[in-house]
A and B are shown apart, each in its own frame.
Chain A
Amino acid sequence: MSKQKRTMTLTGWLAIMLMMVMSLGFASQAMAQSADPERELTTSVGAATPDTWRQVRSGETGPNFRDSRAESTYNLINASGESWRQIRNRWVSPFGLIAIGGMLGLITLFYLIFGRKELDEPRTGRKLLRWTLLERSLHWTVATLFIVLALTGLNLLFGKFVFRGLLGDAFWGAMISGTKILHNYLGPIFGVLLVILLAKLFWHNIPRKHDLTWFKKGGGLIGKGHADAGFANAGEKGWYWLLATAGIAVIASGLVLDFPNYGQGRDTMQWANVIHAVGALGLTAVALGHIYIGTVGTEGSLEGMATGYVDECWAKEHHNLWYEEVKDKTVSAEEAGRSGLDDEPAPQRTS
């Protein structure tokens, strides 16, 4: 039994040895082959083929793409980065500046030529409630936030060309870091409040037929007399709908940029940034017009948003259709002053 086993073991060993020797022979033959550069030349494949470069340029990754960086979602070359840089630096920045500067110029010119729009008739002293306390609070909060966001946004885009050299690195560092914090934290609050304000004013801003005529008359500038207008004139409605479209786009793209924790990629961020900047610069330019018309440009407008009440005469001239509906609801200046802050009746909802 044990002898037989030994014989088998011996045979087994012999077989294994034989196999090893044979394989060594093969191996050395193979080694001799691979060490021959002439042969290798004809069989080796260059690693980077034209297809590799096409793949890299297109940003394609595919199932067999590996990146040794932890949790990386990147391709090899971020080709759209340069396009984004060119769009932002060559187009958005200069044209934003032109839009805002141009608007300031236009407003100044307009003021110099036409001057302030005074009331045609003397004030009657009777007041009409136009904006409730809630509407006024919302308006002024949104307005303040808008101005802060516009200034900080402009600083993010253009500040480095002005303030870094002017104020020195230490001050500039604090300034730009404060700018970013304000912009990123106030932005979402502005977004929420603007949506509430838009919802609140929706019924006033539904387009009507007479709005077309208003535009044709240039808001009363062309031809004689005032153009017909309800609670909101066509110009105000235009501003409303601009905010309801471009404004929402700016808010949405802003949220994309502000919350990188959801893992959106570089490409998404690039687009969000372009939409955000174009929309915001455009709105800032138009907002300058809104601010002008609402303050220096028109007699009696600012007091409406400040106290809630407008003069009867102002209502008749600027919003004749609305005036017709609410003219029997006038109150005296004293009554208006008293109810300015509390317990006020809601203004009539008309367009």
Chain B
Amino acid sequence: MAQMKFMCDAERCIECNGCVTACKNANEVEWGVQRRRVVTLNDGEASEVSISVACMHCDDAPCMAVCPTDCFYKTDDGIVLHDKDLCIGCGYCLYACPFGAPQFLKQSAFGERGKMDKCTFCAGGPADSKEEEYEKYGANRIAEGKLPLCAEMCSTKALLAGDAQTVADIFRQRVVHRGHKDGAWSEVNRQGPDTAAAMDHLAYDATRQG
């Protein structure tokens, strides 16, 4: 079984917020909730870097470990989902989550927060019908054999989603090819007589740009 993961290539992310918009649209999440966010460090400085974050579907998920209702579960694909019928909106998952993924519709007196909402890796959640599932959790693209829309729509392919192994392989290749003549977009230059020399050169590049 696949182990689904997101990965955001900070060298590529241009902070266009396309992923955020795609997610909003795919899942029709409620007003005030934004399952994905783009964080920019050192905005406007030479070291500016942006990264798109949502639930990272942790292996040893802190949210799951602290939830008093035990409403989280992991699918066979390693996706962390939760049951909104059980959720009491205590906010513990938010205290524990490393990525600020869990969100609430409100923050009212007496701990009234409503049901927690977070990224589902476009895999929906527990419900009796498709309509109810969409209503509560948004799209279930995984069931249709599609990957999350945020990554699919990413204009620079900074945001990758899919099986951890595949995603890691793509990223590793990128790191090796970074600064390559065609920006690692094509594989043309990997064939031909000077491949070995080019690879050497690119490896050197990798140490400089990580």
Bound together, the chains give a CA A258 to CA B109 distance in angstroms of: 6
Q: A185 at interface (Cβ–Cβ under 8 A)?
A: yes
Nearest opposing residue in chain B for A161, CB measure: B70
Contact stretch, chosen from A142-150, A259-267, A280-288: A259-267
Within 8 A of A (CB), among B6-53: 10-11, 15, 17, 20, 32, 34, 37-49, 51, 53
Nearest CB on A from B11, distance (A): 5
Residues in B with CB closer than 8 Å to A179 are 88
Contact stretch, chosen from B97-105, B139-147, B148-156, B163-171: B97-105
Residues in B with CB closer than 8 Å to A334 are none
* Contact of B41 (CB < 8 Å), options: A65, A84, A85, A172: A65
Residues in B with CB closer than 8 Å to A169 are 83, 85-86
Contact B208 A266 (CB under 8 A): no
* Contact of A40 (CB < 8 Å), options: B37, B51, B94, B179: B179
Do most interface residues of chain B lie in helix, strand or loop, or is the interface mixed? loop
Contact B108 A261 (CB under 8 A): yes
Do most interface residues of chain A lie in helix, strand or loop, or is the interface mixed? helix
Residues in B with CB closer than 8 Å to A68 are 15, 17, 20, 34, 37-39
Q: A62 at interface (Cβ–Cβ under 8 A)?
A: yes
Nearest opposing residue in chain B for A158, CB measure: B68
Q: B133 at interface (Cβ–Cβ under 8 A)?
A: no
Nearest CB on A from B45, distance (A): 6
Contact B47 A45 (CB under 8 A): yes
Residues in A with CB closer than 8 Å to B34 are 68-70
Bound together, the chains give a CA A180 to CA B113 distance in angstroms of: 12
Bound together, the chains give a CA A176 to CA B95 distance in angstroms of: 19
Contact stretch, chosen from A10-18, A51-59, A220-228, A299-307: A51-59
Bound together, the chains give a CA A152 to CA B12 distance in angstroms of: 49
* Contact of B88 (CB < 8 Å), options: A47, A157, A180: A180
Contact B91 A37 (CB under 8 A): no
Interface core residue of B37, B39, B88, B89 (most chain A CB under 10 Å): B39
Q: B205 at interface (Cβ–Cβ under 8 A)?
A: yes
Contact A180 B98 (CB under 8 A): no
Contact A89 B65 (CB under 8 A): yes
Residues in A with CB closer than 8 Å to B41 are 52, 55-56, 62, 64-65, 76
Bound together, the chains give a CA A146 to CA B69 distance in angstroms of: 22
Interface flags, A246-261, vs B, CB<8A=1, else 0: 0000000000011111
Contact A78 B100 (CB under 8 A): yes
Bound together, the chains give a CA A270 to CA B100 distance in angstroms of: 14
Residues in B with CB closer than 8 Å to A41 are 179, 205, 208
Nearest CB on A from B72, distance (A): 11
Residues in A with CB closer than 8 Å to B78 are none
* Contact of B10 (CB < 8 Å), options: A47, A65, A164, A176: A47
Residues in A with CB closer than 8 Å to B208 are 41, 46
Residues in B with CB closer than 8 Å to A184 are 110-112
Contact B110 A259 (CB under 8 A): yes
Residues in B with CB closer than 8 Å to A44 are 179, 209
Bound together, the chains give a CA A88 to CA B108 distance in angstroms of: 24
Residues in A with CB closer than 8 Å to B209 are 44, 46
Interface size counted on chain B using CB atoms at 8 A: 58
Q: A342 at interface (Cβ–Cβ under 8 A)?
A: no
Contact A84 B110 (CB under 8 A): no
Contact B65 A160 (CB under 8 A): no
Interface core residue of A64, A65, A85 (most chain B CB under 10 Å): A85
Contact B111 A76 (CB under 8 A): no
Nearest CB on A from B110, distance (A): 5
Q: B203 at interface (Cβ–Cβ under 8 A)?
A: no
Nearest opposing residue in chain B for A40, CB measure: B179
* Contact of A88 (CB < 8 Å), options: B66, B110, B210: B66
Q: B127 at interface (Cβ–Cβ under 8 A)?
A: no
Within 8 A of B (CB), among A159-206: 159-160, 164, 169, 172-173, 176-177, 179-180, 184-185, 188
Interface flags, A74-118, vs B, CB<8A=1, else 0: 101111011011001100000000000000000000000000000
Q: A30 at interface (Cβ–Cβ under 8 A)?
A: no
Residues in B with CB closer than 8 Å to A32 are none
* Contact of A62 (CB < 8 Å), options: B15, B42, B69: B42
* Contact of B40 (CB < 8 Å), options: A45, A46, A65: A65
Q: A66 at interface (Cβ–Cβ under 8 A)?
A: yes
Residues in A with CB closer than 8 Å to B199 are none
Q: A344 at interface (Cβ–Cβ under 8 A)?
A: no
Nearest CB on A from B57, distance (A): 16
Contact A81 B110 (CB under 8 A): no
Nearest CB on A from B19, distance (A): 10
Query: What are 5 A-B pairs with beta-carbon distances under 8 A?
Result: A41-B179, A41-B208, A66-B15, A78-B100, A85-B65
Q: What 8 A-B pairs are tightest by C-beta distance, nearest first? A: A69-B37, A160-B70, A66-B40, A47-B49, A74-B100, A64-B43, A260-B107, A46-B209
Using CB atoms and an 8 Å cutoff, list the residues of chain A in contact with chain B: 37, 40-41, 44-49, 51-52, 55-56, 62, 64-70, 72, 74, 76-79, 81-82, 84-85, 88-89, 155-157, 159-160, 164, 169, 172-173, 176-177, 179-180, 184-185, 188, 257-261, 263, 266, 269-270, 273
